[in-house]
A = this chain, B = another copy of it.
Amino acid sequence: METTTETLQVITPEQLLNQWQGHRALTRRVIEAFPEEALFNHTIGGMRPFADMVVELLAIAAPGIKEMMTGKTATFNEDIAHGNKKAKLLELWDQATEDINTYWPQIKPEQFQQPIKSFGQYEGTVWSSIFYFIDNEIHHRGQGYVYLRSLDIEPPFFYER
């Protein structure tokens, strides 16, 4: 594990936060692009509807960062009430955005290289766990793009954040 100082940063904590929130803003636009019925029901090849993937992302993001901030084990809980309403899902998304922005600056710079068992079970470092959160979001959002295309809906541009 790298513990030396006096190296230039590949990416700073603030840049990593902005990078993630840029992705999260794009994911929000993908949620918005779905017709409400399709968001909660459309599937391909036996996969989950996009709303269920969004619930997974919500269950991970703010609780996962809060765990890093507090050191208190987070519970992975996908039992998130949305009543099959897109507006509710977007409201929960925006709340998570605020929560992440609140928790993030309280993660100490030296924590990123430290080990963590995320949600009490996934072993890694703080940085590798955060990367997992982001990569998992990109992965599922990419799947959402296919769902939209199969519904003949143009997804937002991938490179717009």
Chain B residues near A150 (CB-CB < 8 A): 44-45
State whether B112 touches A23 (Cβ < 8 A). Answer: no
Chain B residues near A110 (CB-CB < 8 A): 8
- Tell me how many chains of this kind the complex includes: 2
DSSP majority for the A interface?
Answer: helix
Residues of chain A in range 8-42 having any CB-CB distance to chain B below 8 Å:
8-16, 19, 23
Q: Which of B9, B46, B138 contacts A139 (CB 8 A)?
A: B138
Residues of chain A in range 102-161 having any CB-CB distance to chain B below 8 Å:
109-110, 112-113, 127-128, 131-132, 135-136, 138-143, 145-152, 158-159
CB of A12 to closest CB in B, whole Å? 5
A3 — nearest CB in chain B belongs to which residue?
B8
- Using a CB–CB distance below 8 Å, which chain A residues touch chain B? 2-3, 5-16, 19, 23, 44-47, 109-110, 112-113, 127-128, 131-132, 135-136, 138-143, 145-152, 158-159
